[in-house]
């Protein structure tokens, strides 16, 4: 997998296009009116001429301001309903803003959906022209580019095939090729990368990089934090129509994960008051946290590094040889790690009332990016384990990483390919 | 609010509009979409264009049979040629307007996802109908030649008549296409009005048969009646002129004003609705 070298490339680029703004968004607001009783017919209007339809006002964007420099790869992230797609549509001129100004330098192309206006009954070439014209090319330009579009999509053998006979993968490739062949100075892209296989996605990003290296500007709206971290120069986090933060993609991605999971967790936990606490509390787990490789407390851990989970325990009564341990679960409640002093087969000593200890479990963070919840526990050892104190999902941590993986863990690996007989 | 320097080459995004800011793009889009629609319509049928003719021809056959066997208007020179001409012209208006009604709603994916001049949509519908009309007129001329209609200098009036008819259809198309987004009963209303237009226009009956006062009123209030009569006269000079039918040339200013008025009204309403169409779909 090719990765952009973040160390050197941007510096060259920035000096080349020293802070020329390609996009200026200034104080933009947008609200939608959602009528409660939609009167769709004249008859309804005639029967109830004075009935005022109650309307819900949905404030999709509030006073959003930001600038994007020429040649920048700018990410816009936010949860569903945060207003990011509305922002894109305002910039594209599909909606009209209620307040504020949007300025765009140069030709703009928007890709809210791949292959808008594709007709299944037409051959690829006709569709390229159609799509190209929709996106702002003149018919002649669009026709001229048809060959290179088909070439880029790798569909030379299927030029005359009607689109309805294309596989979905071929369709995506064709649509993407049309998109990149439109010479826009500013590209607005909404989630189009959710489609296509990994290889194609990589090709897309390579292409975005090429476009960006030509001094063109890309705005990408996405949920894929790995994409934001890998490709964006800067990113913006939207939440309920407001700009939460603009800055380093890494930081924004973490904030996004934080916002996202905080919401989830508060929804899960708020109703009852800690129902998930077990044991007789003869000793209490007072506090629990995660530490990074330097032993600093943190709420974010980078995958692939050493880290630790720690908890502070306060003893109310004398206890001999208690067990300390914890269970780590991801957001899907899959247990990814269980560790306790029981596994070490070690005596932990005797404690009296008022004693406080910290136990620390360090491990290699091989987990995939997600939010993880830790359940620490103190238990009586012996034949049967009995909880002294166990606090379900008491601490949490966000693991960040740059590799996009569907796996639960992200273990470092090497791949070797040997032809038969080479080794012998 | 912080002030951000707006470079000179910055274009301020205005939001969607009816015409857009580049007339060339408007024309290119309308042309491409029209040709695509046209191509698709004839795609996959062996007889292609002939099917386009079948509907007006079928109506023509029925009316011709009824009005030459059951009901007779007496001696009308070239009745059958004028009937076909009128049916073909009516078909254009009916096709253009009724297809325009749900055109904007039907193109929802485009409207919501691409920035383009919104007026392109009804313009494409009318342009497609116009292409069909041109092909159908070829059939009318062939039929006229078979029935020994002599070529006339007045045939050159036809382009002007067609232009007025396109304006009439466009005005109505703009109006109904954007009203339909808000009021779904525009469709049945349009259907009824088009049906009324068929009977309220001298298509299968000669205008000469109507009692003068009523005739003057009809031609003045129904601009399409004036257009049809003008076309009939241009084709076969023995037919009454539109001015005669309206009871004087000055009276023709009324249908002309209605055509212009409808066009302006249609454009005004569409232009006003254009920025919000994407939100209301």
**Residue A258 domain-assigned?**
yes
A224 & A357 share domain: no
A215 & A299 share domain: no
Residue A175 has pLDDT above 50, yes or no: yes
Q: Inter-chain contact A65–B32, Cβ cutoff 8 Å?
A: no
Tell me, what DSSP letter sits at residue A412? -
Q: Among residues A262, A286, A311, which one ends one of the domains?
A: A262
Instruction: State which residues form the domain around A50.
Output: 19-262
Q: Report yes or no: B2 at the A interface, CB cutoff 8 Å.
A: yes
- Helix, strand, coil % in chain A, rounded to nearest 5: 30, 35, 35
Provide, as residue numbers in chain A, all residues whose Cβ is less than 8 Å from the Cβ of B43: 121
Give me the residue from A89, A97, A133 closest to B32, CB to CB.
Answer: A133
CATH of the domain at A378: 2.70.50.60
Residue A56 has pLDDT above 80, yes or no: no
Q: Among residues A230, A262, A294, which one ends one of the domains?
A: A262
Residue B150 has pLDDT above 50, yes or no: yes
Other CB atoms within a 10 A radius of the CB of residue B88 amount to 23
State how far the Cα of B223 lies from the Cα of B93, in Å rounded to an integer.
Answer: 12
State how far the Cα of A261 lies from the Cα of A266, in Å rounded to an integer.
Answer: 8
Task: State chain B's mean pLDDT as an integer.
Answer: 89
Residue A272 has pLDDT above 50, yes or no: no
User: Binning pLDDT at 50, 70 and 90, where does residue A237 land?
Assistant: very high
Q: Inter-chain contact A94–B278, Cβ cutoff 8 Å?
A: yes
Check residue A7 and give its pLDDT: 40
User: Binning pLDDT at 50, 70 and 90, where does residue A169 land?
Assistant: confident
Check residue A344 and give its pLDDT: 74
pLDDT top residue among A111 and B67: B67
Q: Residue B105 burial (CB < 10 Å; 0-12/13-18/19+)?
A: middle
CA A311 from chain center: how many Å?
30
Residue A119 has pLDDT above 50, yes or no: yes
Residue A273 has pLDDT above 70, yes or no: no
The region of weakest confidence among A205-219, A283-297, B84-98, B149-163 is A205-219
Nearest to A410 by CA among A371, A368, A370: A368
Residue A313 has pLDDT above 60, yes or no: yes
Our CA-based measurement puts residue A203 at a distance from the nearest CA of chain B, in whole angstroms, of 24
**Residue A215 domain-assigned?**
yes
User: Binning pLDDT at 50, 70 and 90, where does residue A49 land?
Assistant: low
**Residue A186 domain-assigned?**
yes
User: Binning pLDDT at 50, 70 and 90, where does residue A198 land?
Assistant: low
Check residue B39 and give its pLDDT: 81
**Residue A271 domain-assigned?**
no
**Highest-scoring range by mean pLDDT, A19-23, A49-53, A337-341:** A337-341
Residue A8 has pLDDT above 90, yes or no: no
Chain B interface test: which of A93, A105, A122, A246 (most B C-beta within 10 Å): A93
Average pLDDT over residues B82-111: 93
Our CA-based measurement puts residue A105 at a distance from the nearest CA of chain B, in whole angstroms, of 4
Residue A200 has pLDDT above 80, yes or no: no
Check residue A269 and give its pLDDT: 44
State how far the Cα of B143 lies from the Cα of A384, in Å rounded to an integer.
Answer: 103
**Highest-scoring range by mean pLDDT, A61-65, A259-263, A344-348:** A61-65
Residue A116 has pLDDT above 80, yes or no: no
CB A364 within 8 A of CB A328: no
Q: Report yes or no: B8 at the A interface, CB cutoff 8 Å.
A: no
**Residue A117 domain-assigned?**
yes
Our CA-based measurement puts residue B115 at a distance from the nearest CA of chain A, in whole angstroms, of 5
Tell me, what DSSP letter sits at residue A157? G
Nearest to A293 by CA among A280, A305, A310: A305
Q: Among residues A213, A235, A262, which one ends one of the domains?
A: A262
Decide the pairing of beta strands A395-400 and A73-78: unpaired
Average pLDDT over residues A9-15: 36
Angle at A6 (CA atoms; ends A4, A8), nearest 5 degrees? 110
Check residue A51 and give its pLDDT: 58
Other CB atoms within a 10 A radius of the CB of residue B251 amount to 17
A192 & A88 share domain: yes
**Highest-scoring range by mean pLDDT, A165-179, A322-336, B89-103:** B89-103
Q: Report yes or no: B110 at the A interface, CB cutoff 8 Å.
A: yes
Check residue A17 and give its pLDDT: 41
Identify the three-state secondary structure at position B80: helix
Chain B interface test: which of A18, A96, A101, A165 (most B C-beta within 10 Å): A96
Give me the residue from A43, A94, A102 closest to B115, CB to CB.
Answer: A94
pLDDT top residue among B249 and A114: B249
A216 & A291 share domain: no
Closest chain B residue by Cα to residue A98: B15
A162 & A76 share domain: yes
Q: Inter-chain contact A110–B115, Cβ cutoff 8 Å?
A: yes
**Residue A178 domain-assigned?**
yes
Burial pattern A98-118, b for ≥16 Cβ within 10 A else e, equals: eebbbbbbbebbbbbbbbbbb
A102 & A128 share domain: yes
Provide, as residue numbers in chain A, all residues whose Cβ is less than 8 Å from the Cβ of B9: 105-106
Tell me, what's the ipTM?
A: 0.79
Q: How far apart are the first and last CA of chain A?
A: 30
**Residue A2 domain-assigned?**
no
Check residue B127 and give its pLDDT: 96
User: Binning pLDDT at 50, 70 and 90, where does residue A263 land?
Assistant: low
Residue A79 has pLDDT above 90, yes or no: no
Q: Please count the structural domains in chain A.
A: 2
Check residue B192 and give its pLDDT: 96
Check residue B42 and give its pLDDT: 73
pLDDT top residue among B197 and A11: B197
pLDDT top residue among A330 and B201: B201
Closest chain A residue by Cα to residue B20: A93
> Could you tell me how many CB contacts below 8 A there are between chain A and chain B?
122
Q: Measured over all CA atoms, what is the biggest interatomic distance in chain B, rounded to whole angstroms?
A: 82
Q: Inter-chain contact A117–B1, Cβ cutoff 8 Å?
A: no
Residues of A contacting chain B (CB within 8 angstroms): 20-21, 24, 26-27, 32, 40-43, 45, 65, 67, 89-97, 101-106, 110, 112-113, 116-117, 119, 121-122, 126, 129-130, 133-136, 138-139
A176 & A318 share domain: no
pLDDT top residue among A117 and B151: B151
Average pLDDT over residues A1-22: 46
Instruction: List the 178-207 stretch of B: residues with Cβ below 8 A of A.
Output: 182-185
What secondary structure, in 3-state letters, does B96-152 show?
HHHHHHCHHHHCHHHHHHCCCCCCHHHHHHHHHHHHHHHHHHHHHHHHHHHCCCCCC
Sign of CA dihedral A147, A152, A153, A156: positive
Decide the pairing of beta strands A99-105 and A21-35: antiparallel
User: Binning pLDDT at 50, 70 and 90, where does residue A39 land?
Assistant: low
Residue B49 has pLDDT above 80, yes or no: no
Q: Which residues contact A268 (CB under 8 A, 6 or more apart)?
A: none
A305 & A254 share domain: no
Q: Report yes or no: B41 at the A interface, CB cutoff 8 Å.
A: no
Q: What is the pLDDT of residues A206-224, one digit of tens each?
A: 787 788 788 888 898 887 7
Check residue A4 and give its pLDDT: 43
A216 & A307 share domain: no
Check residue A274 and give its pLDDT: 54
User: Binning pLDDT at 50, 70 and 90, where does residue B231 land?
Assistant: very high
Quick one: residue B179, left, alpha or beta (phi over 0 = left, psi -120 to 50 = alpha)? alpha
User: Binning pLDDT at 50, 70 and 90, where does residue A13 land?
Assistant: very low
Check residue A138 and give its pLDDT: 85
Q: Inter-chain contact A97–B15, Cβ cutoff 8 Å?
A: yes
Residue A5 has pLDDT above 70, yes or no: no
**Highest-scoring range by mean pLDDT, A343-352, A358-367, B109-118:** A358-367
Percent above pLDDT 70 for chain A: 83
Give me the residue from B16, B32, B112 closest to A93, CB to CB.
Answer: B16
User: Binning pLDDT at 50, 70 and 90, where does residue A37 land?
Assistant: low
Q: Which residues contact A217 (CB under 8 A, 6 or more apart)?
A: A22, A23, A68, A69, A70, A71, A72, A73, A74, A185, A186, A187
State how far the Cα of A158 lies from the Cα of B227, in Å rounded to an integer.
Answer: 49
Give me the residue from A32, A92, A130 closest to B36, CB to CB.
Answer: A130
A339 & A233 share domain: no
Check residue A11 and give its pLDDT: 35
Our CA-based measurement puts residue B11 at a distance from the nearest CA of chain A, in whole angstroms, of 5
CATH of the domain at A154: 3.40.50.300
Give me the residue from A27, A94, A101 closest to B12, CB to CB.
Answer: A101
State how far the Cα of B10 lies from the Cα of B115, in Å rounded to an integer.
Answer: 18
The region of weakest confidence among A376-380, B40-44, B243-247 is B40-44
- Give every strand in the sheet of A297-298, ordered side by side: A297-298, A283-291, A306-315, A356-364
Residue B4 has pLDDT above 90, yes or no: no
A187 & A281 share domain: no
Identify the three-state secondary structure at position A337: strand
Query: 0.80 exceeded by the pTM?
Result: no
Give me the residue from B12, B31, B43 closest to A103, CB to CB.
Answer: B12
Burial pattern A308-346, b for ≥16 Cβ within 10 A else e, equals: bbbbebbbbeebeebbbbbbbbbbeeeebbebbbeeeee
Q: How many CA within 13 A on the CB side of residue B281? A: 20
**Highest-scoring range by mean pLDDT, A275-279, B109-113, B208-212, B220-224:** B220-224
A257 & A286 share domain: no
Q: Inter-chain contact A94–B275, Cβ cutoff 8 Å?
A: no
State how far the Cα of B234 lies from the Cα of B253, in Å rounded to an integer.
Answer: 19
Instruction: Show the tokens assigned to A222.
Output: 């996405």
Residue A266 has pLDDT above 80, yes or no: no
Average pLDDT over residues A23-45: 77
Our CA-based measurement puts residue A81 at a distance from the nearest CA of chain B, in whole angstroms, of 16
**Highest-scoring range by mean pLDDT, A148-162, A251-265, A287-301, B13-27:** A287-301
State how far the Cα of B80 lies from the Cα of B235, in Å rounded to an integer.
Answer: 12
**Residue A4 domain-assigned?**
no
């Amino acid at each position: 997998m090719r990765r952009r070298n973040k160390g050197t490339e941007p510096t060259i680029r920035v000096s080349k296009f020293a802070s020329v703004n390609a996009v200026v968004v200034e104080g933009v607001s947008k609200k939608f009116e959602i009528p409660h009783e939609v009167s769709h017919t004249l008859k309804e209007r005639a029967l109830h001429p004075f009935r005022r339809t109650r309307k819900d006002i949905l404030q999709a964007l509030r006073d959003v301001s930001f600038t994007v420099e020429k040649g920048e790869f700018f990410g816009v992230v936010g949860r569903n309903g945060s207003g990011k797609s509305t922002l894109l549509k305002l910039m594209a001129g599909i909606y009209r803003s209620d307040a504020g100004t949007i300025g765009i330098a140069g030709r703009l192309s928007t890709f809210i959906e791949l292959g808008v206006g594709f007709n299944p009954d037409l051959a690829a070439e006709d569709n390229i022209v159609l799509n190209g014209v929709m996106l702002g090319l003149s018919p002649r330009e669009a026709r001229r580019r048809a060959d290179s579009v088909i070439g880029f999509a790798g569909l030379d053998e299927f030029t005359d095939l009607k689109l309805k006979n294309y596989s979905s993968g071929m369709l995506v490739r064709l649509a993407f090729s049309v998109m990149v062949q439109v010479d826009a100075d500013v590209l607005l892209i909404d989630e189009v990368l959710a489609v296509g296989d990994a290889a194609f996605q990589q090709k897309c990003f390579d292409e975005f990089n090429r476009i960006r290296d030509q001094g063109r500007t890309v705005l990408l709206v996405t949920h894929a934090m790995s994409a934001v971290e890998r490709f964006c120069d800067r990113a913006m986090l939207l939440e309920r129509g407001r700009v939460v933060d603009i800055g380093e993609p890494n930081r924004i991605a973490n904030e996004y994960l934080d916002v996202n999971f905080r919401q989830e967790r508060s929804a899960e936990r708020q109703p009852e008051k800690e129902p998930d606490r077990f044991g007789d509390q003869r000793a209490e787990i007072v506090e629990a946290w995660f530490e990074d490789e330097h032993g600093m407390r943190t709420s974010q851990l980078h995958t692939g590094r050493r880290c630790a989970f720690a908890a502070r325990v306060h003893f109310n009564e004398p206890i001999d040889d208690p067990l300390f341990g914890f269970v780590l679960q991801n957001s899907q409640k899959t247990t990814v790690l269980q560790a306790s002093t029981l596994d070490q087969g070690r005596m932990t000593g005797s404690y009296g009332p008022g004693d406080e200890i910290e136990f620390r479990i360090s491990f290699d963070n091989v987990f995939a990016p997600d939010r993880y919840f830790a359940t620490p526990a103190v238990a009586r050892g012996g034949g049967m384990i009995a909880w002294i104190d166990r606090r379900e999902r008491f601490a949490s941590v966000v693991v960040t990483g740059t590799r996009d993986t569907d796996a639960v863990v992200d273990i470092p690996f090497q791949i070797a390919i040997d032809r038969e007989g080479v080794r012998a | 609010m912080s002030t951000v320097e707006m470079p000179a080459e910055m274009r301020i995004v205005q939001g969607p509009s009816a015409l857009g800011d580049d007339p060339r793009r408007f024309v290119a889009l309308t042309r491409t979409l029209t040709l695509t629609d046209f191509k698709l319509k004839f795609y996959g049928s062996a007889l292609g264009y002939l099917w386009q003719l079948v509907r007006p021809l079928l109506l023509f056959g029925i009316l011709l049979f009824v009005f030459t066997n059951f009901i007779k208007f007496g001696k009308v020179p070239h009745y059958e040629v004028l009937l076909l001409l009128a049916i073909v012209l009516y078909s254009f208006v009916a096709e253009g307007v009724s297809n325009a009604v749900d055109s904007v709603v039907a193109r929802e994916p485009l409207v919501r996802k691409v920035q383009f001049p919104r007026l392109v949509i009804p313009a494409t519908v009318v342009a497609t109908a116009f292409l069909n009309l041109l092909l159908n007129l070829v059939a009318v001329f062939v039929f006229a030649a078979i029935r020994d209609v002599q070529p006339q200098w007045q045939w050159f009036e036809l382009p002007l008549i067609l232009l007025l008819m396109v304006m009439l259809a466009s005005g109505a198309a703009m109006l109904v296409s954007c009203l339909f987004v808000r009021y779904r009963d525009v469709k049945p209303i349009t259907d009824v009005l088009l049906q009324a237009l068929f009977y309220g226009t001298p298509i299968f009956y000669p205008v000469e048969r109507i009692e003068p006062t009523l005739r003057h009123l009809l031609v003045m209030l129904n601009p399409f009646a004036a257009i049809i009569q003008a076309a009939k006269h241009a084709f076969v000079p023995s037919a009454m002129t539109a001015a005669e039918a309206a009871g004087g040339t000055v009276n023709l200013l009324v249908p002309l004003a209605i055509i212009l008025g409808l066009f302006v009204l249609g454009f005004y309403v569409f232009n006003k609705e254009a920025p919000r169409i994407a939100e209301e779909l």
